[in-house]
Amino acid sequence: MGTAAALIVIVVLLLAGVFWWYHHSTTVRQREFDDAKAEARRWVERLGGQVLNLVGSTEPAKQALADAAERHNAAGSQLEQANTPEQCRLTTRTALEGLYYVRAARTAMDMDPGPELPDLDGQREAGTVTEYREVEVNGGKQMASPEPGEHTPHYYPGGRVAGRPVPRGWYSEPWWKPALAAGAWGMGSFLLMGALFSGMSGVPAEAAAGQDPGGDAGGGADDPGADGGGEFDGGFDMDGFDLGGF
């Protein structure tokens, strides 16, 4: 009887321990999720206020605010769908990208850009356009500039797209968007990057390379950055979490 009673006590203690561990883990996960969602909501609301209150007075500002509005719509959708801390953090990133576009719009209108923002993943490593460049690739002209202008109305905050760095700056066309949607680069994009960024200070050699370092023209499914990198836009789905689209 004594042995049986001892076994019963041990089983009860084990079950109690398992129950406590499960309850504690669930509480910790819920708290982490609640904190992450509150943080995401704070950035989404901040972006929404900026988008609502700013009106572009120049073409670059209008384009940047349109991009910011896209980010706000995507972040709002992501926030509604988020049910894990990781998805909340992706929402925060989307909102932060939008706020970088707002800063760009304010700069394009000669306004104070506002307070500094947290760095985006890969942003610093991607470098910055430091000089005006105009090149001709495949019969078309493409321009890059550190400043907004009539011919460079498209801003990018900097980051990795399909595994490759795209420097922060102003461009004549948003040539990185196809790679965001497809998760891979085409050979024409490598030629363009080589022409735009070769020898430019402030831009990493990887961004200025005229070919894929892996030896092919597109980042490919095995590319660690093939999820969209600098922005998570192209309509991809992550564990059932719709990342939005253009």
Residue 234's pLDDT band (cuts 50, 70, 90): very low
- Span 140-198, pLDDT tens digits: 899 999 999 999 999 999 999 999 999 999 999 999 999 988 889 988 888 899 999 99
For all residues of the chain together, what is the average pLDDT?
Answer: 83
Give the model's pLDDT for residue 45. 97
pLDDT at residue 65 tops 90: yes
Check if the beta carbon of residue 244 is closer than 8 Å to that of residue 77: yes
- Span 71-125, pLDDT tens digits: 999 999 999 999 999 999 999 999 999 999 999 999 999 999 999 999 999 999 9
Distance CA 185, CA 172 (A): 18
Its pTM stands at 0.76
Question: Of the spans 20-24, 94-98, 180-184, 227-231, which averages the highest pLDDT?
Answer: 94-98
Give the model's pLDDT for residue 1. 56
DSSP 74-129: HHHHHHHH--SHHHHHHHHHHHHHHHHHHHHHHHHTT----S--PPPTTHHHH-B-
Q: Is 119 left (phi over 0), alpha (psi -120 to 50) or beta?
A: beta
DSSP 144: E
Per cent of the chain over pLDDT 90 is: 64
pLDDT at residue 139 tops 80: yes
Per cent of the chain over pLDDT 70 is: 83
Residue 131's pLDDT band (cuts 50, 70, 90): very high
If you count them, how many residues does the chain have?
Answer: 246
Which residues are bridge partners to 154 per DSSP? 171
Please give the structure tokens belonging to residue 68.
Answer: 């910011």
Query: Residue 164: which residues within 8 A CB-CB, separation 6 or more?
Result: 179, 185, 193, 206, 207, 212, 219, 225, 229
**Least confident span in 83-87, 215-219, 220-224:** 220-224
Please give the structure tokens belonging to residue 122.
Answer: 């890969």
Please give the structure tokens belonging to residue 172.
Answer: 């004549």
Give the model's pLDDT for residue 245. 39
Any idea where the domains of the chain sit in the sequence?
17-108, 123-232
The crossing angle, in degrees rounded to 10, of helices 85-108 and 2-53 is 20
